[in-house]
Amino acid sequence: MESETEEEPEIGTTKPKKPQSIVEADEMLLKNKFEAAEEAYRSLISEDETGDAYAGLAVALAKQNWPKKVLEAEKIMKKGREQFSDNPNMIAAAGYVAYVHSKTVASPARRDSYLEAAENLSKRAVRLSPDTVIAQHTLGLVRLAMDDAEGAISPLRKAANMAQDAYSNTLLAEAMLKVDPRDEDAKGLIDEALAQDKNYHAARLQKAFYLTNKGKHEEAFTELHSIPRDQRGSDWQKVQGDIYRVQGDGPSALASWKEANRLDPRNPEPYKNLGKYYDGRGDGELAIAEYHNALEILPNDLKLRAELADLALRQDKLDVAETEFRTILNLKESDPASLLGLARVMFRKARKEGQYPTGYAELMDKISSIVTEQTVQGQLIKKGAKNLNDKIQLSEAEKALAESPPRFREARQLFSQVITNHKEEPYELLSLGEQAFNDGDLKSAEEAYGYAKEINEVSPRAEQGISKITNQRNEAKRHTELGNATWKLPEVAIDHYKQALIHDPQHPDAYYGLYKLYFRLKKDDNKAVDYAHTFLEASDDNDPLRKEVEDDLSRLKKRVQKENSK
């Protein structure tokens, strides 16, 4: 195409040179010169006979991420598709614009609708023309937006192989680092991107992320702060928060993550990090709130839902845990970890309410079938097997606690096995201690906190846990003594003993008091038998009262048989 004669520009102004072809405009776009690319494509639209200039202009506008420009990009796409509906570049551009629009809507349902449209359009473009780079980019970006980094790698690798530019290399590196934050191949891609464009700040951001995950925090901080202030967006603040966190500066980390969400309320990563930070600090309520914030943006992130469900279970927020486990099972009906989690919710509700919730028997049958089948298939050998086996043992422990009469000793043995397996993992010990405490097994909680107390990182929180156990036991002891002092008023005594068991569900002296009271009253021998058995489960082998209860129990059972034979 021949170039037109340019008019003499006014003094003090620079008129952009009209590109000779679409290739020049594409080059500007690939070099992230979006405004220059926009002007170049605009100058070519009047002569556009294929739709490529329309497609390029829409992408150049959308990449500038200004609401006004995004709206204009949509108008350009509508006009271009009316004329060039079968052009792969036009279809791919429409997919990219839909992806960008997905980031501007508040409704999760609308966001997912735009992402689905972006994915479908990009796949259609790839079918028509496999070497359409922007379509491969969009497929990868959609997968990243859905928190599926592994799924993003394949299309982004294809795009990087075709384009070989800083943007494509950095995007692929980002996906790879989400899968493995220390990926050396990703680091190579970042270095290549910076060699192509030393001022490409997105690559520097990923380099800072990689360095901090390699433990090179000072280098990461230097790399991060080489990015100009006007380029420091939500992701920049998120990475700065990550660096502060590993350096042990919690308040600064919180400030950075909160600033990240102020800059982009739809960025889920800072919410996740806030949730994990609050969880590690022991602020369960705040952690649950931040996980919910993240799930508002990523409602289909089942891994995040599972983390929230486990956290809620540890915090004894049974309704929250049940909701999340059931949500996962609606999408993955045979997920063993979620089935076991739901069973743990039911066991705990049974202990509190005195009966198993509806559907318990069916759930246990399904768990038995799924876990056995997966074990036979060798699934438990794969990644996550240790975690799943832990869940199985903890589920069995809670089942033992929920039985009538409860099997305290079996539950304690199961808890102890899991605790011992994690005795050098500080935060796992705190979680196990918290769970055992909420399940009413203070001895197991004490074991977990005892290991944690020896680890400096979590020693203060472990001490707090032990202090809570001491307070519960003291209250149980106080109510038991009040029960012993009010034997002449049986109803009052029974109430005190039951209050003692609210504070320590395995307090042997309270069970002994209940047993002796019912044994003496002769009103409900079956209850007396149950309390006698429970006392024997809760008491130590060297407890001097065991011999008395064992002897009485023999006579009591004969009395029950005699009553039943009448």
The reported pLDDT for the residue numbered 48 is: 79
Domain membership of residue 182 (yes or no) is no
Q: Closest Cα to residue 59, out of 133, 154, 162?
A: 133
Q: Is the pLDDT of residue 71 over 50?
A: yes
H/E segment holding residue 175: helix 166-179
pLDDT digits (tens, 9 = 90+) for 306-332: 999 989 988 889 999 999 999 999 988
Confidence of residue 431 (pLDDT cuts 50, 70, 90): confident
Q: Is the pLDDT of residue 292 over 90?
A: yes
Largest separation between any pair of C-alpha atoms in the chain = 119
The reported pLDDT for the residue numbered 2 is: 34
CA dihedral 28, 31, 33, 34 (to 10 degrees): 80
Give Cα 190 to chain centroid, integer Å. Answer: 27
- For CA atoms 20, 23, 25, 27, the dihedral sign is negative
Q: Is the pLDDT of residue 515 over 50?
A: yes
Both structure tokens of 293: 């914030």
Domain membership of residue 299 (yes or no) is no
Confidence of residue 479 (pLDDT cuts 50, 70, 90): very high
What's the average model confidence in pLDDT over 64-91? Answer: 83
Phi, psi of 9 (to 5 degrees): -70, 150
> Number of folded domains in the chain?
1
- For CA atoms 442, 448, 451, 452, the dihedral sign is negative
The reported pLDDT for the residue numbered 563 is: 65
The reported pLDDT for the residue numbered 222 is: 93
The reported pLDDT for the residue numbered 267 is: 87
Confidence of residue 474 (pLDDT cuts 50, 70, 90): very high
Name which of 323-327, 381-385, 444-448 the model is least confident about. 381-385
The reported pLDDT for the residue numbered 384 is: 45
Domain membership of residue 481 (yes or no) is yes
The residue ranking higher by pLDDT, 158 or 385, is: 158
The domain spanning residue 411 has which CATH number? 1.25.40.10
Confidence of residue 11 (pLDDT cuts 50, 70, 90): very low
Q: Closest Cα to residue 301, out of 167, 138, 111, 479?
A: 111
Domain membership of residue 387 (yes or no) is no
The reported pLDDT for the residue numbered 377 is: 45
Q: Closest Cα to residue 115, out of 92, 142, 141?
A: 142
pLDDT digits (tens, 9 = 90+) for 170-221: 999 999 999 999 999 999 999 999 999 888 999 999 999 999 989 898 999 9
Confidence of residue 12 (pLDDT cuts 50, 70, 90): very low
Domain membership of residue 219 (yes or no) is no
Domain hosting residue 480, numbered range: 403-565
Average pLDDT, the chain: 85
Residue 442 CB contacts under 8 Å (≥ 6 apart), including other chains: 436, 469, 472, 473, 504, 506
Q: Is the pLDDT of residue 17 over 60?
A: no
Name which of 206-210, 414-418, 516-520 the model is least confident about. 516-520
Q: Closest Cα to residue 288, out of 264, 318, 331, 257?
A: 318
DSSP letter string over 193-226? HHHH-TT-HHHHHHHHHHHHHTT-HHHHHHHHTT
The reported pLDDT for the residue numbered 339 is: 86
Name which of 292-306, 419-433, 550-564 the model is least confident about. 550-564
Domain membership of residue 488 (yes or no) is yes
DSSP type of residue 63 = T
Domain membership of residue 472 (yes or no) is yes
The reported pLDDT for the residue numbered 566 is: 58
Confidence of residue 3 (pLDDT cuts 50, 70, 90): very low
Domain membership of residue 509 (yes or no) is yes
The reported pLDDT for the residue numbered 380 is: 40
Q: Is the pLDDT of residue 509 over 80?
A: yes
The residue ranking higher by pLDDT, 213 or 369, is: 213
The reported pLDDT for the residue numbered 18 is: 54
Specify the pTM. 0.70
- Percent of the chain residues topping a pLDDT of 70: 91
The reported pLDDT for the residue numbered 6 is: 37
